[in-house]
């Protein structure tokens, strides 16, 4: 048995590879162009094959999907800063890449998981968000919403292939997945805060910091990802994958400072300074996980402190920064 993970050298993808090596006897093929992933994220194992390539290369994708018994399509252009800075790249990667994967999967009848995002809910205020809720997006003139639009089309592609071709497809909407190996390079808030706190720098909070987010440990996210594709009742459905424990960004910054023992202060930066005057930031992100609970019998629930402690421990190890004295 062979599993294909696109974007498998990335943050979430590499943890999914780890799960497969630990819990199954299957071999794993990783397709990744290393634009945001890292080769070092993957373990040295004769059960892991790395293929350096782009998911928009339909011939290469078809070649790899043909070999697989299941596909997890995690490759995407992610991160608010990356999307705002290069919306065209985001659209091409997310739309063309997903179409290539689904076309090949349908041709060879390979069950496929499509990674989506809580971004599809846009700036809706109807929290907690249920999978059947309406989406509320800003204008197309704001690059902020190109990612949400692309992921929504990805979902529609997947569901259409399920309905038209009877392809086993599952869509997972990730809610702020966090943990070891995540980079703060493209605006990911927890690794950014932790790195700033350990360096004694101000923690940069965009806006007034009252916006709330629900953070999910990557270990639980990949467990749900794996189990959803194995569950026939999940095929043709969309699932929120997240921990329903919202916290404000101000409270998050304060907790990072406490857990690191840092002397850092919190610095608020207006959105129009960090991005541009047309930038919009959703105020709330909280998942309704009842459908995930009904299907799998559980949902992510790791406490925020455990997530932060794992990230802090990894960053300390990488930078050899000692723990604060008691």
CATH at 50: 3.40.50.720
Note the pLDDT tens digit of each residue in 45-91. 999 999 999 999 999 999 999 999 999 999 987 766 667 677 888 88
Beta strands in the chain (DSSP E): 2-6, 27-32, 48-52, 70-73, 112-117, 169-174, 177-178, 203-206, 212-214, 216-217, 237-241, 246-248, 266-269
Query: What burial class does residue 316 get, using C-beta atoms within 10 Å of its C-beta: 0-12 exposed, 13-18 middle, 19+ buried?
Result: middle
Does the residue 234 lie in any domain? Answer: yes
Does the residue 259 lie in any domain? Answer: no
How many domains does the chain fold into? 1
* Among 23-32, 141-150, 273-282, the range of highest mean pLDDT: 23-32
The residues with which 212 forms a beta bridge, in sequence order, are 248
Note the pLDDT tens digit of each residue in 84-121. 677 888 888 899 999 999 999 999 999 999 999 999 99
In the residue annotation, 161 being an active-site residue is answered as: no
Does the residue 287 lie in any domain? Answer: no
Q: How many residues does the chain have?
A: 326
Choosing from 121, 147, 157, 174, the catalytic residue is 147
The per-residue pLDDT for 326 is 37
Does the residue 309 lie in any domain? Answer: no
Does the residue 195 lie in any domain? Answer: no
Does the residue 6 lie in any domain? Answer: yes
Note the pLDDT tens digit of each residue in 192-247. 999 999 999 999 999 999 999 999 999 999 999 999 999 999 999 999 999 999 99
The per-residue pLDDT for 187 is 67
In angstroms, the CA 244 to CA 241 distance is 9
User: What range does the domain containing 18 cover?
Assistant: 2-177+216-241
Phi and psi at residue 238, to the nearest 5°: -115, 135
Does the residue 64 lie in any domain? Answer: yes
Report pTM.
0.93
Best CA proximity match to 209, nearest among 246, 244, 253, 259: 253
Note the pLDDT tens digit of each residue in 174-198. 999 999 999 877 668 999 999 999 9
Does the residue 286 lie in any domain? Answer: no
């Amino acid at each position: 048995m062979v599993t294909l993970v696109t974007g498998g050298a990335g943050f979430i993808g590499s943890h999914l590879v780890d799960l497969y090596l630990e819990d199954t006897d299957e071999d794993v093929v990783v397709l990744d162009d290393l634009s945001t992933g890292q080769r070092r994220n993957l373990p040295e194992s004769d059960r892991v094959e790395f293929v350096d390539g782009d998911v928009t290369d339909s011939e290469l994708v078809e070649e790899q999907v043909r070999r697989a018994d299941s596909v997890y399509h995690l490759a995407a252009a992610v991160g608010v800063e990356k999307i705002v800075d290069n919306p065209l790249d985001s659209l091409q990667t997310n739309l063309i890449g997903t179409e290539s994967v689904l076309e090949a999967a349908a041709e060879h009848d390979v069950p496929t998981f499509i990674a989506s995002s809580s971004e599809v809910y846009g700036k809706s205020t109807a929290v907690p968000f249920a999978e059947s809720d309406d989406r509320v997006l800003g204008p197309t003139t704001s690059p902020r919403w190109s990612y949400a639009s692309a992921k929504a089309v990805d979902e529609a592609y997947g569901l259409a292939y399920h309905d038209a071709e009877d392809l086993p497809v599952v869509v997972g909407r990730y809610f702020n997945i966090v943990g070891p190996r995540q980079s703060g390079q493209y605006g990911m808030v927890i690794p950014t805060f932790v790195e700033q706190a350990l360096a004694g720098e101000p923690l940069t909070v965009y806006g007034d910091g009252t916006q709330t987010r629900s953070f999910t440990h990557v270990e639980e996210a990949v467990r749900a990802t794996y189990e959803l594709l194995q569950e026939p009742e999940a095929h043709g459905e969309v699932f929120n994958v997240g921990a329903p424990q919202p916290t404000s960004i101000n409270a998050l910054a304060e907790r990072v400072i406490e857990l690191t023992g840092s002397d850092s202060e919190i610095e608020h930066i207006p959105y129009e300074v960090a991005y541009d005057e047309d930038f919009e930031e959703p105020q709330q992100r909280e998942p309704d996980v009842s459908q995930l609970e009904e299907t799998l019998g559980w949902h992510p629930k790791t406490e925020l402190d455990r997530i932060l402690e794992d990230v802090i421990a990894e960053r300390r190890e990488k930078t050899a920064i000692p723990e604060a004295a008691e």
